[in-house]
Amino acid sequence: MSLLRSIAGGLRSLFRKEQVSQELDEELGIFLEMAAQEKMKEGMSRKDALRAVRLERGSLEATKEVVRADGWESLLDTCWQDLRYGFRVLCRNPGLTSVAVLTAALGIAANVTVFSVIDVLFLRSVPAKNPERLVRILSPENNGEGYFSVPEFAYLREQSKTVEDLTAHYSTAPLYVSANGETGEVQGAVVSSSYFSMLGLRPYLGRFFTPGEDSVADRDAVAVFGYGFWQRIYDGDSAIIGKNFLVNGHTFSIVGIMPPDFHGVEIGGVPNEIWIPTMMIRVGYRHCDGFQRACTILSLMGATKEKLVMFVVRLIGFVVSDAELKTTKAQRHTRCCPW
Amino acid sequence: MADKPSDLVQGTLDMLILKTLALEPMHGYGIAVRLEQMSKGIFRLNAGSLFVAFQRLQRDGLIKSEWKATENSRRAKYYVLTERGRKRLSSETREWGRQVAAIARILETS
């Protein structure tokens, strides 16, 4: 209550500055005049009386300043004056001003750029249940880009002891889709069935495809739709589960819808809108036969069994995966890196 | 005036102004004179501290002001105690009594 009143009083002083100041002027003038009159009754001349009052009670100007500076609004007023003064000075020196503005603009722009890069590279993590346990498994071949083929993935999945839910994904598949009378290219992902459990996802509608549906080449043409894509194409119609549509000319059926906030694991990349099984890779990728060892397009991810400090994961990943791979004829070295 | 004017105990000016106004509405100079008379010249107040106190008390809603004619038929701003101010005065007076008694007890021992 008293805070409100104080604010109201301060605002009144701010916005009706002239009136408030005039009132204070008048009141103070009367105060000093009365004090002087008193002195003159004792026989002083008017001049001496005024002088004596100034000494005893303080001068009009000094008192006004003290009263004005006591309210909170005086701080605001001072800031405003400083701002206006600063603005005037800047206007007077256009050269200096433009250099200063340019410097500030460049500085801000550089920082924004650096931050957005760092944000994508280091700060944002994969939308998973245990992102600190996720690792990406890289192959040093192919100029260190680290991709695998389907047979290599199948082998590692059988043999791996260091990670669970070993998952393959090819998340930048341009898919030509015809659904509900609309046709267009979308960013799709070819993923193994462990993708969903590794990331701890739950379908918004329907289900995800099962390990069984990702076990025989070219057999199970099933797909999961992204929430946004489903909204756009089918207007959020929940009766579309089981319906058919075309991916690159092949008939697929919709088994489920992704949760609304999930757009794939390529952070900062184009969001995924359709997910199909790795066993349908020939539909999703056509530059080489996805089932051949030479066709290395899959990224591998997995969750480490324990929450480990990252350098330990790297070490174990390197040693164990290396040992596992020595038994293959491919003689490829893999290592584990923090995702 | 035998003694030199002395400074007020910090924080007591508000209470003294409220006390002065409890008798009757008064203008600034009147309040100053009355405080000096009642203290027998011990307290001499400069305009700065008085007017800052008026502004503060007014914003706290303890006093309000109105322009009126003085006894010499001049215009002056009169301050009036509000109901809130009256309550504050009685609580502060009580508190002051307690403190003075406590301080006196401490000073008397030894």
Q: For the ranges A129-138, A222-231, A263-272, A280-289, which has the lowest average pLDDT? A: A129-138
Whether residues A63 and A209 share a domain: the answer is no
Indicate whether A152 belongs to any domain: yes
Whether residues A137 and A86 share a domain: the answer is no
Report d(CA A179, CA A188) in Å as an integer. 14
Q: For residue A2, what pLDDT is reported? A: 62
Q: For the ranges A71-80, A232-241, A316-325, which has the lowest average pLDDT? A: A316-325
Indicate whether A124 belongs to any domain: no
Whether residues A55 and A146 share a domain: the answer is no
Single-letter code of the amino acid located at B25: P
- Chains A, B: CB contacts within 8 A come to 70
B48-B50-B51 Cα angle (round to 5): 70
Shortest Cα distance, chain A CAs vs residue B98, angstroms: 26
Domain tally for chain A? 2
pLDDT at residue B31 tops 80: yes
In angstroms, the Cα distances linking B71 to A29, A209, A236, A237 are 17, 97, 84, 87
**Both tokens assigned to A271:** 């969001």
**Both tokens assigned to A332:** 């490829």
Report d(CA A31, CA A39) in Å as an integer. 13
Do the chains contact at A35 and B29, CB–CB below 8 Å? yes
Q: Of all residues in chain A, what percent carry a pLDDT higher than 90? A: 32
Q: State whether residue A136 is helix, strand or coil.
A: strand
Report d(CA A176, CA A172) in Å as an integer. 13
Do the chains contact at B55 and A30, CB–CB below 8 Å? no
Shortest Cα distance, chain B CAs vs residue A14, angstroms: 14
Report d(CA A302, CA A135) in Å as an integer. 6
B69 reaches A (C-beta below 8 A): no
CB contacts of A35 in chain B (<8 Å) are 29, 32
Report d(CA A221, CA A244) in Å as an integer. 10
Q: For residue A143, what pLDDT is reported? A: 53
Give the end of a domain, one of A92, A108, A142.
A92
Shortest Cα distance, chain A CAs vs residue B40, angstroms: 17
Q: For residue A259, what pLDDT is reported? A: 93
Suggest the residue from B13, B17, B29, B63 to mutate for an interface test with chain A (most A CBs closer than 10 A): B29
Shortest Cα distance, chain B CAs vs residue A25, angstroms: 11
Indicate whether A184 belongs to any domain: yes
Whether residues A180 and A328 share a domain: the answer is yes
Q: For residue A307, what pLDDT is reported? A: 57
Distance of CA A222 to the CA centre of its chain: 32
Indicate whether A238 belongs to any domain: yes
Whether residues A265 and A137 share a domain: the answer is yes
Indicate whether A274 belongs to any domain: yes
Question: Which of A2, A27, A35 comes nearest B60 by C-beta?
Answer: A2
Whether residues A6 and A154 share a domain: the answer is no
Higher pLDDT, B4 or A133: A133
Give the end of a domain, one of A68, A92, A116.
A92
Q: How confident is the model at residue A314 (pLDDT cuts 50, 70, 90)?
A: very low
* Residues in CB range of A136: below 8 A, 6 or more apart: A146, A299, A300, A301, A336, A337, A338, A339
Sign of the C-alpha dihedral, residues A17, A23, A26, A31?
Answer: negative
Q: For residue A126, what pLDDT is reported? A: 65
H-helix segments, chain A: 2-15, 17-41, 46-57, 60-70, 73-92, 94-118, 141-144, 150-159, 194-199, 227-234, 281-284, 310-326
Nearest residue on chain B to A11, alpha-carbon basis: B59
Q: For residue A163, what pLDDT is reported? A: 76
Whether residues A322 and A241 share a domain: the answer is yes
Q: What is the pLDDT of residues A253-279, one digit of tens each?
A: 999 999 998 888 876 678 899 999 999
Higher pLDDT, A247 or A164: A247
Instruction: Sort B30 into a burial class: Cβ within 10 Å, 0-12 / 13-18 / 19+.
Output: buried
Indicate whether A83 belongs to any domain: yes
Indicate whether A22 belongs to any domain: yes
pLDDT at residue A55 tops 50: yes
Q: Is the pTM of this model over 0.90?
A: no
**Residue A46 belongs to domain spanning:** 2-92
- If you average pLDDT over residues A86-102, what whole number do you get? 91
* DSSP states of chain B: --SPPBPPPTT-HHHHHHHHHHHS-EEHHHHHHHHHHHTTTSB---HHHHHHHHHHHHHTTSEEEEEEE-TTS-EEEEEEE-HHHHHHHHHHHHHHHHHHHHHHHHHH--
Q: For residue A333, what pLDDT is reported? A: 38
Whether residues A69 and A168 share a domain: the answer is no
Q: How confident is the model at residue B80 (pLDDT cuts 50, 70, 90)?
A: very high
pLDDT at residue A337 tops 70: no
Q: For residue A177, what pLDDT is reported? A: 92
**How much is the ipTM here?**
0.83
pLDDT at residue A221 tops 50: yes
Report d(CA A319, CA A19) in Å as an integer. 83
Whether residues A182 and A324 share a domain: the answer is yes
Indicate whether A120 belongs to any domain: no
Which chain A residues have any C-beta within 8 angstroms of a chain B C-beta? 1-2, 5-6, 9-10, 23-24, 26-28, 30-32, 34-35, 38, 56-58, 62-63, 66-67, 70-71
- If you average pLDDT over residues A271-300, what whole number do you get? 89
B13-108: which CATH architecture? Orthogonal Bundle (1.10)
Domain boundaries, chain B: 13-108
Q: For the ranges A146-150, A186-190, A199-203, A306-310, which has the lowest average pLDDT? A: A306-310
Q: For the ranges A51-60, A144-153, A302-311, which has the lowest average pLDDT? A: A302-311
Whether residues A56 and A160 share a domain: the answer is no
Phi, psi of A326 (to 5 degrees): -60, -25
Question: Which of B33, B46, B61 comes nearest A58 by C-beta?
Answer: B46
Q: How confident is the model at residue A326 (pLDDT cuts 50, 70, 90)?
A: very low
Q: For residue A124, what pLDDT is reported? A: 67
Mean pLDDT across chain A: 81
In angstroms, the Cα distances linking A305 to A42, A133, A195, A241, A309 are 99, 8, 16, 34, 12
Whether residues A185 and A250 share a domain: the answer is yes
Q: For residue A330, what pLDDT is reported? A: 35
Distance of CA A254 to the CA centre of its chain: 31
pLDDT at residue B28 tops 70: yes
Contact of A53 with A35, CB cutoff 8 Å: yes
**Beta-bridge partner residues of A337:** A136
